[in-house]
Amino acid sequence: MAKPRDKKYDSPRQGRVRPAGELIGEVGGLAFKRFGFVQGAVVSRWGEIVGERYAGVSLPESIRFPSGSRKNGTLTLLVQGAHAPLMQHLGPMIIERVNRFFGYEAINKVAYRQGVIPAKAERPERQAPAPVPTELGEGLRTIADPELRACLESLAGQIAASSGPPAVDKNDPKPLPIIRSIT
């Protein structure tokens, strides 16, 4: 006979595909905190905080606060070699912008470490969709919902632009199908 399940640990079924960030939950936040980041958004939005020019030559490594406090912390930046003196001169501006991002005076000191900034992965360019074939265009005009019509026109254009089924490498394991929910 099967054991009865404890209901307080079961999450309710949602009947939809959930983003990976939602499934991971607090685990990602704990990993960032372990490595010195109270808020992971500082890393992901570094370009917005200091500007793309300075984000290209620097990267936040950690934020350390005095024990029992979330103020007067030290931000450690990884900076490319020759740019370190420039970034030191920009220290007050960096402190001001990071504090503005947090919304309170979280940082009062910036420490610098010289190193190599990892290159950002470039996003591949997508091909422009082909115009919708005329025989499909007439049928799509009768659809009243403009969002649905736009999605179907985009799908028709991508199908018309393709040159057949996708090529699959026989040595690779079978890829998982992409399942998307329509909500």
Confidence of residue 137 (pLDDT cuts 50, 70, 90): low
Distance CA 64, CA 110 (A): 10
Q: Which two tokens stand for residue 31?
A: 């990993």
Confidence of residue 93 (pLDDT cuts 50, 70, 90): very high
At residue 155, does pLDDT exceed 70?
yes
* Range in 28-32, 125-129, 136-140, 142-146 the model is least confident about: 28-32
Q: What is the pLDDT of residue 112?
A: 92
* Consecutive H or E run containing 61: strand 58-64
* 81-98: average pLDDT: 90
Confidence of residue 45 (pLDDT cuts 50, 70, 90): confident
The rounded mean pLDDT for the chain is 76
* Cβ atoms of residues 45 and 71 within 8 Å: no
- pLDDT tens digits for range 6-26: 555 556 666 777 766 666 665
Distance CA 87, CA 96 (A): 14
Q: What is the pLDDT of residue 61?
A: 87
Confidence of residue 111 (pLDDT cuts 50, 70, 90): very high
Rounded to 5 degrees, φ, ψ at 21 are -60, -35
Q: Which two tokens stand for residue 98?
A: 């990071």
Distance CA 14, CA 33 (A): 29
* DSSP 8-state assignment for residue 110: E
Strands lying side by side in the sheet with 58-64: 58-64, 73-79, 107-114
Q: Which two tokens stand for residue 39?
A: 């808020």
* Cβ atoms of residues 73 and 65 within 8 Å: yes
Confidence of residue 143 (pLDDT cuts 50, 70, 90): confident
